[in-house]
Amino acid sequence: MKCNYCSNEAVYHRKISNEFVCKIHFIKTVEKKIRKTVRKYRMFSPKDKVVVGLSGGKDSLVLLFNVLELQKRYSDSPIVEAILIDEGIEGYRDESIEIAERMCREWKTPLHIVKMKNNFGKTIDRIIPSLEKLNVNACTICGTVRRRLLNDKAYELRADRLAIGHNLDDQIETFLQNIVRNDLKQILLHPPNGNIKSDKKEIVQRMKPLMSIPEKEIALYCYYKDIPIQVTPCPYVEKYYILRKKIQHFINILENQSAEIKYNLLKMNEKIINKVTTNYLKKEINQEVKKKGICKICQMPCGLKREFCYFCEIKKELNLFE
């Protein structure tokens, strides 16, 4: 089969648009879609300082490369930096730090590594034995702490935007997970294009430029662009991501029967956010989402009836306040 855009052999069939693309046009069409998403949602402008959250995984490296390329189109000296949170998971984090350092050197991007041990008080490995007492799983704690440390570092770096590497699959899995949990508030708090703008200046606005790119296209993009992929999985992922894994499996079964399923879910996610914000529920939700309570310890937003944010609550439970 020939490529739809040139005379080269096609290497990929994009079922959703029935496009056959060669390697060059596969790369070009992915990059074009990312640019289109950034423009459509006005994620950032050429003068913005954009900080990219790196996990060392494929998504965030693809994101960093594309943010750099996009900003370079309009500026000779784009202000793009990267942050990596080191949770202290032995045998897992070292590989991604090595990859992130290597790629940031190659792309001439400043990389800031934030250690959870120094900035939170304990590594994930050291928290694992206390999980039963806290009655939560490793990923909930890890995600909460990482989000906060990422935001705090981005704020310290005076970033205008914080870009994170959530792809299409990540977004719709989160959406379906919140549906089965009957959690409308979480759906509204996690719009596909990023987080809602906070009134608090200490919260840097998050953006998801890869929201329309399926995971398999990101993996193929890495392969063709020679972007390294970490091979070691986190030792806690299988143990704690049980619901997400089942949802992933369910979506992939459906996708085999109908190519548009992931995009339909993304559209539905956006529709729900737009509709809810136009009916009476908006008032209730806005009250809860926007007029949040303020944490007595760190002064960051938390639930209306709560005294402390979840980050400080975990820290308190673990006796990490000096």
Q: Which stretch binds Zn ion (CB under 5 A): 23-31, 223-231, 257-265, 273-281?
A: 23-31
Instruction: Tell me if 314 contacts Zn ion by CB under 5 A.
Output: no
Q: How far is the CB of 240 from ligand SF4 (least distance, A)?
A: 6
Instruction: Tell me if 258 contacts Zn ion by CB under 5 A.
Output: no
Give the whole-angstrom CA distance, residue 67 versus residue 214: 18
Give the whole-angstrom CA distance, residue 93 versus residue 114: 12
Binder of Zn ion out of 1, 6, 242, 320 (CB under 5 A)? 6
Q: How far is the CB of 151 from ligand SF4 (least distance, A)?
A: 16
The set of residues, in sequence order, having a beta carbon less than 8 Å from that of 276 and lying 6+ positions away, is: 184, 188, 282, 285
Residues making contact with ligand SF4 (CB under 6 A): 87, 124, 138-139, 142-143, 234, 236-237, 240
Nearest partner of 142 among 100, 70, 92, 179, judged by Cα: 92
Give the whole-angstrom CA distance, residue 2 versus residue 10: 5
Give the whole-angstrom CA distance, residue 180 versus residue 7: 47
Q: CB–CB of 169/248 below 8 Å? A: yes
Q: How far is the CB of 140 from ligand SF4 (least distance, A)?
A: 8
The set of residues, in sequence order, having a beta carbon less than 8 Å from that of 226 and lying 6+ positions away, is: none
Helix (H, G, I), strand (E, B) or coil at 172: helix
Instruction: Tell me if 25 contacts Zn ion by CB under 5 A.
Output: yes
Q: CB–CB of 149/120 below 8 Å? A: yes
Q: CB–CB of 232/95 below 8 Å? A: yes
Name the binder of 22 from ligand SF4, Zn ion, none, CB < 5-8 A by kind.
Zn ion
Helix (H, G, I), strand (E, B) or coil at 239: helix
Give the whole-angstrom CA distance, residue 176 versus residue 174: 6
Q: CB–CB of 298/128 below 8 Å? A: no
Judged by beta carbon, residue 4 or residue 140, the one nearer ligand SF4 is 140
Interface size with Zn ion, residues (CB under 5 A) = 11
Q: How far is the CB of 126 from ligand SF4 (least distance, A)?
A: 13
Instruction: Tell me if 22 contacts Zn ion by CB under 5 A.
Output: yes
The token pair at 211 is: 């929201």
Instruction: Tell me if 3 contacts Zn ion by CB under 5 A.
Output: yes
Name the binder of 5 from Zn ion, ligand SF4, none, CB < 5-8 A by kind.
Zn ion
The angle that helices 58-74 and 93-106 make with each other, rounded to 10 degrees, is 20
Binder of Zn ion out of 157, 189, 298, 318 (CB under 5 A)? 298
Instruction: Tell me if 297 contacts Zn ion by CB under 5 A.
Output: yes
Q: How far is the CB of 170 from ligand SF4 (least distance, A)?
A: 12
Instruction: Tell me if 312 contacts Zn ion by CB under 5 A.
Output: yes
Judged by beta carbon, residue 228 or residue 293, the one nearer ligand SF4 is 228
Instruction: Tell me if 149 contacts Zn ion by CB under 5 A.
Output: no
Instruction: Tell me if 295 contacts Zn ion by CB under 5 A.
Output: yes
Q: How far is the CB of 292 from ligand SF4 (least distance, A)?
A: 24
- Residues in contact with Zn ion by CB under 5 A are 3, 5-6, 8, 22, 25, 295, 297-298, 309, 312
